[in-house]
Structure 1
Amino acid sequence: MQGRAGISLLFAAGSRPTVGDIETLLDVQASAGQTARISHRPEDEHGWLELLASGLTFDLRGLAPGRAAPLPDASHVYGLSVDQSATALEAVALLPGPHIAGGAALLPVVRTLLRLGASLAMELPVTAVCWNPAGAWMDPKYFTRIMFSWLSGGPFPALGLTALLPHADGGVRSAGLDFFIGQELHLGRRDSEEGTDTLKIAGRIIDRLVAHGPLQRAETFAGADGELLLAEPSADGRRIMVTRSA
């Protein structure tokens, strides 16, 4: 899980920010009341910084003049054209620091990391943002909008921090939810239901699961329009199967 954590900020080749650029940007943000600051600065050629935000430390790696961070796979794409996701890009990675890496999936860590990442993405010439646990590449404006919405009390951004993929039975399955709860979701689809409605229902279920943790036993709860949903963990506990009332 630790190796999957964090986000990657993707830049056109040759346009990654320098260590000095980040220092200047954080100074400007601090003057506006934001609290992230540099807590450790190695020599610039190493290309990384340790940042402190809300009492937690994060590593920002891949800064110029050092080597770029590894480029993540584009397993799922939101708001980007295929051409954009395939252009020559270089990555800067924002990762939980070593002291908190074991708790990388805890919501306070995730929320602080995403708040910091979104603030950087708003100010830097970012071409795309990847949430590494799901391999989800996003348009920077889409990323910042859904993250700030969630951080302000909105729903969990299922199409971004997880992916929802079509299943052979007409329903959807999640990818990346296991980072948060150790389980993936499979939601069946009703014949009369539009695909977008299935996605909305899956998103509401994911929002609940992320807030309450993994499903340990069968549970029923109300879906849209009073529909009854039956959620059950699979025999191995790694999947949540949700069936629909007739």
Structure 2
Amino acid sequence: MEIVTSEFFQRALIGGLLIGITAPLMGFFLVLRRLSMIGDTLSHVAIAGVALGFIVGVYPIAMGLLFAIAASFAIEKLRKAYKAYAELSLAIIMAGGIGLASILFTAGDSMMDVNSYLFGSIYTLDNVDLYTIGGVTAVVLIVIISQSKELFLITFDEEAASVSGLPVRFYNVMISVLTALVISVAIKIVGALLVSALLTIPAACSLIIARSFKQSLMTVIAIGEFAVIAGLLIAGVWNLAPGGTIVLLLIALLLILLLVRRGFRLGG
């Protein structure tokens, strides 16, 4: 267990713990609003920004963040244009993100570190990465805590929120932008191809065991933190991919909860 005392592992643990708070929190709102796939969409667009960052010599995560935020606004525009087929907005933006990323990666330097952003590279986090992740975590927590009542109403009954006078469009954009921020900093931890799991699976678990809105928020954070800590320890000891280990742990936990719930139903 010498790896636990190493500096790179401690940075990985700090970054993982921060993302273990914000990603499940944002994912919870997305799942309840039936926007689970937005994680995949924004992560693929963010990868295009990362590629451009490498090409022009700008901090890749910052460029990915800008791309993801721009994509979040585009998604909201398309959702309004296709009200009856809102999921089309996600498919269109995702396709554009993948297409642009493929062009930028092939046009860029052959030494461009693609895999670390596709599959995650939590052990390579530096101080700048940690400050960025910490800043995003602070913003997300401040917004959710200060706007919890409004977010609750919009999440469960958007029409009622509109009738009550809440600026629904503003809150929709705000949720999308916060999601873009979280995904942009999470792709270096679990990777663009896996980040959606960290958004959605803790929420899926909480829907099984939580009995209230507040309890659900606490549950998704607890599940996210457990998966990150356990995943990093297992990956460190057995020399496994950290991002993949975290995701597989989440899936295993979800399956266990589903089996337990089924057992209770059969027993009752």
Structure 2 length as normaliser, TM-score?
0.28
Structure 1 length as normaliser, TM-score?
0.30
Q: Where is the helix percentage greater, Structure 1 or Structure 2?
A: 2
The structure whose RCO (Cα within 8 Å, separation 6+) is larger is: 2
Q: Where is the strand percentage greater, Structure 1 or Structure 2?
A: 1
